[in-house]
């Protein structure tokens, strides 16, 4: 009868422990309209684009290799150097190795453990001849994972290992985007510096022309002074741009983990990007964005943490044994030694531990729910980033048309006012205004081109681009 009761109790424990064996189900759905309602009207298929591949058509812009998106050879060399030398990326790689070692330890926990524990004793009583005893045992211990404690620990370690790889990918993507942004910032500043220097020469000629008009009695000293003041302002802006270039080059050096230097680079006007691109299916974000994957790994780890907390309510079963040579047989000493072997088993069932297990289960459930909410918020934030970046690209491309027309009109206006002033048909103020307005428009035109490129880079990062 007692045997039947024990068997029924064991069966009841097995059936009641089914919850600790449940497997985490990965997310397969994202909120409707994750990218925004109007995104589909702007994006076109990538088909026909020179950079299109089978994978990129499926994954969108985020599926493109960074070599395909950033075709500037100088930038490609800098990104390659950054991926090799950047200290943050190297630290992320070490995190992966640490998590891999932890996972290996969790896997090896299923194997029995062995230990060699030799012992020796020399004893003597009342000056009699000393006796020597020894034992050379090998002990073994093996915990049976009947209720999933070690299994859940292994799955939790596996999720954390995957999370460390996601973190490395996030650092990689951020590094590629950071180097690209810094590089194109330099190209923008180079272009603005060239425009400012050209404007400086134009103002120099205008000052000389105004002074000649003053000497001819066609202009007064106030006009010359105003022209000179504008000329000096342009000279100061040239120095500011040179300082900014130096600062950005220093920032690039930090990303590349090297001392500051002058970097060879291309020209902003020669940079090429896909005219039409796809952003991919929103559900693909679950597998592309490292921060989304990392948030889900946290949820998965919390899921198995809850399972592990449940398994603490069930007994642990351990098998053990020892075998070895000894010459000690109780009160007798025999030589040579004889083989001694023993086998044992133990079951530990928690009964009352001051509510610690119940508290740990409540904590684990709360942490799992917290991880679930964080995962949902990460998805929403990712969709918002895609929408922002795509809108930025769209707006910049639309504005570029108007900037082109504005600059062309202002160039004609500045040229006309200079000619009219030379013939006395206009004032120096009109020339001053036309020149300054043209300069501002040209600088804004360059900045808008950079904004467009920056939007493409941000979109590439938001879609999880730069994967290994």
pLDDT, tens digit, 9 for 90 and up, residues 396-435: 999 999 999 999 998 898 888 877 776 666 666 787 888 8
What tokens does 202 get?
């134009």
What percent of the chain is modeled with pLDDT above 70?
Answer: 68
What tokens does 265 get?
């680079």
Burial of 339 (0-12, 13-18, 19+ CB in 10 A): exposed
Q: What is the DSSP secondary-structure string of 9-33?
A: HHHHHHHHTGGGG----------TT
Distance (Å, rounded) from C-alpha 174 to C-alpha 89? 10
Which tens digit of pLDDT belongs to each residue from 212-222? Answer: 877 877 777 88
pLDDT value at residue 7 = 38
Contacts for 107-112: CB closer than 8 Å, 24+ residues apart: 107/154, 109/143, 109/150, 109/153, 109/154, 110/145, 110/150, 110/154, 111/142, 112/140, 112/141, 112/142
pLDDT value at residue 224 = 82
With 90 as the cut, is the pLDDT of residue 347 above it? no
- Mean of all residue pLDDT scores within the chain: 77
**Coil, strand or helix at 127:** coil
Distance (Å, rounded) from C-alpha 149 to C-alpha 314? 9
User: DSSP code of 467?
Assistant: -
Structure confidence at residue 84 as a pLDDT band (50, 70, 90): very high
* CA torsion through residues 101, 102, 107, 108, sign: positive
User: DSSP code of 355?
Assistant: T
pTM: 0.73
Structure confidence at residue 124 as a pLDDT band (50, 70, 90): low
pLDDT value at residue 197 = 93
**Which CATH number is associated with domain 27-90+172-314+359-462?**
1.20.1600.10
What tokens does 409 get?
């009109």
Structure confidence at residue 21 as a pLDDT band (50, 70, 90): low
Instruction: Give the residue among 434, 435, 414, 417 at the shortest CA–CA distance from 426.
Output: 417
Q: Which helix (H) or strand (E) holds 116?
A: strand 113-116
What tokens does 50 get?
């020179």
Can the peptide bond before residue 336 be classed as cis, meaning omega within 30 degrees of 0?
yes
Distance (Å, rounded) from C-alpha 197 to C-alpha 210? 20
- Where do we find the tokens 């029924």? 8
Structure confidence at residue 95 as a pLDDT band (50, 70, 90): confident
């Amino acid at each position: 009868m007692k045997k039947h009761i024990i068997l029924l109790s064991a069966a009841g424990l097995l059936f009641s422990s089914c919850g600790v064996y449940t497997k985490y189900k990965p997310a397969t759905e994202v909120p409707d309209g994750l990218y925004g309602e109007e995104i589909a009207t702007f994006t076109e298929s990538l088909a026909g684009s020179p950079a299109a591949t089978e994978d990129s058509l499926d994954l969108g812009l985020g599926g493109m290799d960074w070599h395909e998106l950033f075709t500037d050879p100088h930038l490609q060399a800098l990104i390659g150097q950054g991926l090799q030398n950047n200290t943050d990326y190297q630290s992320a790689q070490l995190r992966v190795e640490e998590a891999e070692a932890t996972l290996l330890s969790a896997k090896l926990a299923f194997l029995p453990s062995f230990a060699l524990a030799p012992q020796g004793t020399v004893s003597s009583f009342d000056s009699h001849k000393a006796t020597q005893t020894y034992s050379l045992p090998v002990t073994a211990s093996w915990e049976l994972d009947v209720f999933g404690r070690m299994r859940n620990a292994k799955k939790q370690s596996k999720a954390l290992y995957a999370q460390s790889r996601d973190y490395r990918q996030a650092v990689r993507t951020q590094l590629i985007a950071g180097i690209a942004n810094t590089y194109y910032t330099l190209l923008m500043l180079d272009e603005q510096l060239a425009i400012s220097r050209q404007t400086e020469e134009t103002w120099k000629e205008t000052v000389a022309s105004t002074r000649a008009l003053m000497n001819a009695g066609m202009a007064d000293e106030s006009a010359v002074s105003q022209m000179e003041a504008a000329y000096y302002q342009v000279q100061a802006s040239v120095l500011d741009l040179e300082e900014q270039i130096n600062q950005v080059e220093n920032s690039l050096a930090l990303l590349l983990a090297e001392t500051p230097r002058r970097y060879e680079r291309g020209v902003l006007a020669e940079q090429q990007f896909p005219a039409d691109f796809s952003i991919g299916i929103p559900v693909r974000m679950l597998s592309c964005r490292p921060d989304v994957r990392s948030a889900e790994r946290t949820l998965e780890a919390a899921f198995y943490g809850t399972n592990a907390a449940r398994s603490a309510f069930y007994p642990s079963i351990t098998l053990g044994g020892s075998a070895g040579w000894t010459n000690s047989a109780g009160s007798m000493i025999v030589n040579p030694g004889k083989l001694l072997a023993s086998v044992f088993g133990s079951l530990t069932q928690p009964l009352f531990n001051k509510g610690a297990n119940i508290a740990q289960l409540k904590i684990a459930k709360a942490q799992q729910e917290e991880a679930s909410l964080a995962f949902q918020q990460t998805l929403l934030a990712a969709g918002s980033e895609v929408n922002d970046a795509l809108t930025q690209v769209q707006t910049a491309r639309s504005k570029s048309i108007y900037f082109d027309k504005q600059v062309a009109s202002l160039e004609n206006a500045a040229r006309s006012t200079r000619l009219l002033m030379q013939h006395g048909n206009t004032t120096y103020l009109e020339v001053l205004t036309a020149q300054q307005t043209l300069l501002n428009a040209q600088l804004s035109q360059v900045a808008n081109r950079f904004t467009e490129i920056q939007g493409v880079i941000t979109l590439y990062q938001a879609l999880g681009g730069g994967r290994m």
